[in-house]
Amino acid sequence: MNEKQNVTKNKVGRPFVRFGSLKTPIGPIFVAISKSGLFDVAFGITDQVRYVARLGTRVARATPDRRAVSGALDQLDNYFSGNLTRFSIPVDLRVSTDFTYRVLLAANQIPFGQTISYGETARLVGSPGASRAVGGALGRNPLPIVIPCHRVIATDGSIGGFTGGLAIKKALLRLEGHQV
């Protein structure tokens, strides 16, 4: 991640999380925090019941607690207001493979306002030719926006895919100064 961002990589265990939401220009965003750091970021969900269902078996328990997640929500609010270009929230990555972890670390190094291709990301993680696998790993990013997978685009300059939908990816890229 970066020098101001603690990363805890966990492969096992289901944490207890606290969560809250924020209204943003791309719609509501829900976030969950474990004792190790930011655990989940989700958009396209409109209420707490659906968010807890989305977390499903990934957590032992989810409790609404806006105060507990206020630091993450404040940073996201500042990002959408144009006042933050790099997150410093500690994160708790519980990913299934080392490849996904390496891809997410590479995505997190892409500076605000810049993009790189899926192929370039594959080369950065030591797997040239694995651009489709990079796309799959980015699609499993539990912390979109904070780990900026939206900054990875196709080699030809098209925006590629995005689990949150292309409209949201375009909005995030426009927020960072890209013409899409």
Residues annotated as part of the active site = 149
Q: How far apart are CA 175 and CA 103, in angstroms?
A: 23
Buried b (16+ CB within 10 A) or exposed e, 65-103: eeebbeebbebbbebbeeeeeebebbbbbbbeeebbbbb
Q: How far apart are CA 20 and CA 18, in angstroms?
A: 7
